[in-house]
Chains A and B, each alone.
Chain A
C-alpha cells in the first residue's frame, strides 16, 4: 500500500504468522470492521435489506465454495443444493425444537449440510475436473427435488414454503417478520466475520496446505503422504458446512421465507461466478466476487434513473444485462485470476508509488 512496513520488526513467531503482519493493515481492517458494525446506525432499510445482507450471505456461500474449488481444486455445481440442505435443516431444527437458540441452529444446519456434502464428495475420489462438476450437478438436482417432493421437510405446508420462525437472541428479535434489517445485518456480519476468520486460519494451516497440494497435483501430494480420501472429503464437508450456514442465513436472515426455487441451479452458477470473478483461492476474492455480482447489477439498475435518464424498465434491464456481461468479460480479460489478484497488483504498485523505478 501507500504506507511501508519499515521499522516493524517481527520478534516472535506469532507476529510473523499474523494474518495482517503490518500494523497499518491491522488498523485499517479493525477500523473497517468497526465501521461495518456501525452501518445500521446510518444505513436505510433498503441498503441493509437489498444490498448489504445479500452481499454478506453470498459472501459466506462464495467463501464456502472457494474453499472447495479455489483451495482444494474440486469444481462443484452443487452449492445451491448444499445451501438448501442448510436452509431446510435449520427450518426443521428451529421448528422442532423451539427452545434451541437460533445461534446454535445455524452451525447445526451447517453440520447437516456437511454430512450431505461428505456423501456427495465421494465421487470426487474417482472423477476430476469438469466430470466432477457434472457429478455434483446431481446433488443440486437431487436435493432440490427431494425438498420439493417430501412434504416433511416443509412441515407439510401446502405451498411448500418454509418460513423463518420468530426467534430472539438476548431478548432481541433476530429472525421472523418483526426482526429489523439492522439486527439481521449485525447477526449476519458477526457470522461472516467468525467464519471468515476460521476459513483464513484453515487455509493457512495444515489442512489448507493439504488442499492446495491436492489441487496443484494430486499424485504428487499422495506421494508425499497426503491422503486424498480424507483431504478431499474434508474439503467437501467444510465447504458444504459454509454453504449450509449461508443457506440457513439466506432464509432466516435475508428472505424470511423461501421455496425450493430459491435454491435452483442458478444459485449454484451465481456462487461459482462469484468465486471465479473474485479470485480462486483467495478469501478476499470471495468477498470481492460477491460484491461484484450483488452490487453491480443494483448500481446498473439505478444508474440511468439517478442520471436523470428516464427509460422503460425493460430497456433498463436489457442494458443492465449487457453491461454486466461486458464487465465480466472485461475483468476476466484484464485479470484472469480475479479481482483479488487485481487488488494485490494495485497494492504492490501503490507500494512503489510514486517512484516505480
Chain B
C-alpha cells in the first residue's frame, strides 16, 4: 500500500510540476528552427523520411559549412503524430526557444491553418511548402505565410495539363471522365475548386470522391470508381490512405498509368506495399526522385559516413526524403537571403520573413548547392508567395521512381484570379487588411 501511495504522490507532484520543468535554454549564437515531425502514428510512413531529409540537410550545412554563413543551425524535433492539437502544443513549446524560432514548417495542412493566425502575432514566418492554405499565396493578405514552390491549385492545373498532353491536347479532354479521390480534410479538399473550374473550362466530367480519414476503408469509393470507369484518376491522399487506394485500384484492374497521385500521394512508401501491381503509377512532384545528385554525394560524405545520418543510408533519395531536403534548402536559402540584409548573425522571425519574401533562387545557385535539375528556380515576391512553379511527373517502375515528363507549367491565368479572391475572403475572416506591396520596397 505504501508503494502505491508513494507512486500516486510522485505522480501527482509530477503532473503539477511537469510542464514547469520546460527549461528555456537561450542559445543566441545559433539560428533555432523548430521541427514539427511525425515519426509515430498512422502517418509515420510519410513523416519519417521527410523529417530525416530535413535534419540531414541541416546537419550537412553544419558539418560542411559550419552552418549558414558561419552561423550554426540548431533545431529541435517535436512529435505531432499529424494531430492538430499536438502540433499547436509543439509550436507553443518551441516558438520561444533558442532566442525565438526563425521559421516554422508545420508539415500538416491542419496545423498550418492553426498557425497562420498566430504567425502575424508571434512574428514567426510559416513556411508550408506545397501544402497549407492555397489562398495564403497572396502575400498582400498573408505576409507571414509562404507556400512556394507551388500550391495545390497550381498542381491540380498542372495535372490537368499533363492529362491533356497525354490525350493529345487540352481540347481532347472534352467528355473525358476524371475522378478526384481525396482525403476528406482541408488538405484533400484544396484542389476541388480548381478542378471544378477546369472541368467547366475544358468540359470534362469531374467526379469528386471523398475518403474519410485516415482512409483504410475505401471499398465503397472504389465501387463507385468501378461503376464510373473514369479515364483518369487523380489522388490526393496521405499516409495509409495512399497504399490502400493503390491496392484497391489494382484489385479493380484500373490501368496504373492513368492513375496520378499528387505530391503527397506518390512516395516510395505508398507504392511498395502494393508490389508489382503498382508499376506504372504516376505521381506529381516539384523535385526529382533518387539519390543521384551532387547534394546526395555530399550528404553521404559529410553526414552518413560520419555516422550522423538521421535514417538509414539506403533510404536516402526516397521521394519524401528528397522533399525534406528541398524544404530544408528553401528554409536555409531564405535565411541566407535575410543575412545579406541583416548580417551574419542569428535572425529574428521578422528578419527571416524578409528573407523569404526576397528569396530569388536561381538555377545558378541551385547548381552551387549541388541541386541542378533536382528542383527548379524560385522567385518569391511581396505579392506572390507561391512562385507558381512548374510540376514534374514521375512514374514507378516497380523498383524506383523515374521522371517521365518535362517541367509542366501551371495555369496561372486560371489559378491566380481565384487565389486572389480566396485570399480576400480568408484574410477578411481573420480581420486582416491588404498591404500595399509598392510601399514595401
Contact = CB atoms under 8 A, between A and B. Distances in A.
Interface string B207-242: 000101100000000000000000000000000000
B189 A299 contact: no
A257 interface: yes
Contact of B184 (A148, A295, A296, A312): A148
Nearest to A256: B117
Interface in A233-263: 255-262
Interface in B67-104: 77-79, 81, 84-85, 88-89, 92-93, 96
A296 B79 contact: no
Contact of A255 (B44, B84, B96): B84
B416 to A, nearest CB: 15
A295 B15 contact: yes
B14 A299 contact: yes
Which interface residue of A159, A295, A321 has the most chain B CB atoms within 10 A?
A: A159
B402 interface: no
Contacts of A329: none
Contacts of B37: 313
B430 A166 contact: yes
Contact of B23 (A177, A292, A306): A306
Contacts of B114: 255-257
A61 interface: no
A11 interface: no
Given A45-B92, A46-B92, A50-B89, A158 B190 contact: yes
A320 to B, nearest CB: 9
Contacts of B77: 312-313
Given A306-B21, A327-B11, A49 B189 contact: no
A303 B431 contact: no
B40 interface: yes
A158 B426 CA distance: 10
Contacts of A49: 88-89, 92
A259 B132 CA distance: 13
Contact of B210 (A148, A296, A314): A148
A51 interface: yes
Which interface residue of B78, B81, B113, B193 has the most chain A CB atoms within 10 A?
A: B113
Main secondary structure of the interface of A (DSSP, over half): helix
A303 B14 contact: yes
A99 to B, nearest CB: 16
A317 interface: yes
Given A159-B190, A316-B79, A51 B84 contact: no
Interface residues on A, range: 35 or more
Nearest to A306: B21
Contacts of B21: 302-303, 306
A334 interface: yes
Contacts of B210: 148
A295 B186 contact: no
Contacts of B79: 301, 313-314, 316-317
B422 interface: yes
A342 interface: yes
Interface in B1-20: 4, 7-8, 11, 14-15, 18-19
A136 interface: no
A303 B18 contact: yes
A303 B19 CA distance: 8
Interface string A325-345: 001001000100000001000
A261 B84 contact: yes
B121 A295 contact: no
Interface residues of B, number: 53
A342 B8 contact: yes
Interface string A296-312: 10111111001000001
A163 B136 CA distance: 15
B185 A259 contact: yes
B250 interface: no
Given A257-B114, A261-B185, A312 B22 contact: no
Contacts of A148: 184, 210, 212
Which interface residue of A51, A163, A317, A342 has the most chain B CB atoms within 10 A?
A: A317
B429 interface: yes
A203 interface: no
B360 interface: no
B85 A255 contact: yes
A208 B41 CA distance: 41
Given A160-B186, A313-B39, A317-B40, A295 B81 contact: no
Interface in B185-201: 185-186, 189-190, 192-193
A61 B266 CA distance: 39
B110 interface: yes
A299 B19 CA distance: 6
B379 interface: no
Interface in A44-88: 44-47, 49-51, 54
Nearest to B429: A163
Contacts of A296: 11, 15
A95 to B, nearest CB: 8
A355 to B, nearest CB: 18
B15 A259 contact: no
A228 interface: no
A161 B44 CA distance: 24
Contacts of A295: 15, 18-19
Contacts of B422: 158
A177 B186 contact: no
Nearest to A291: B15
A261 B215 CA distance: 12
Interface in A188-238: none
Nearest to A151: B189
A49 B88 CA distance: 9
A154 to B, nearest CB: 10
Contacts of A163: 113, 117, 426, 429-430
Interface in A103-162: 145, 148, 157-161
Contacts of B133: 159
Contacts of B96: 44-46
A47 B186 contact: no
Interface of A: 44-47, 49-51, 54, 145, 148, 157-161, 163, 165-166, 176-178, 255-262, 264, 291-292, 295-296, 298-303, 306, 312-314, 316-318, 321, 327, 330, 334, 342
Closest 8 CB pairs of A and B: A299-B18, A177-B117, A306-B21, A314-B39, A159-B186, A50-B89, A166-B431, A313-B79
12 contacts: A49-B88, A50-B93, A161-B113, A163-B113, A177-B120, A256-B118, A257-B113, A262-B85, A300-B18, A302-B19, A306-B23, A330-B7
Given A50-B93, A177-B118, A177-B431, 19 more contacts: A45-B92, A45-B96, A46-B96, A47-B19, A50-B92, A159-B186, A161-B186, A163-B113, A165-B429, A166-B430, A166-B431, A176-B431, A258-B84, A296-B11, A302-B22, A306-B18, A313-B77, A314-B40, A317-B39
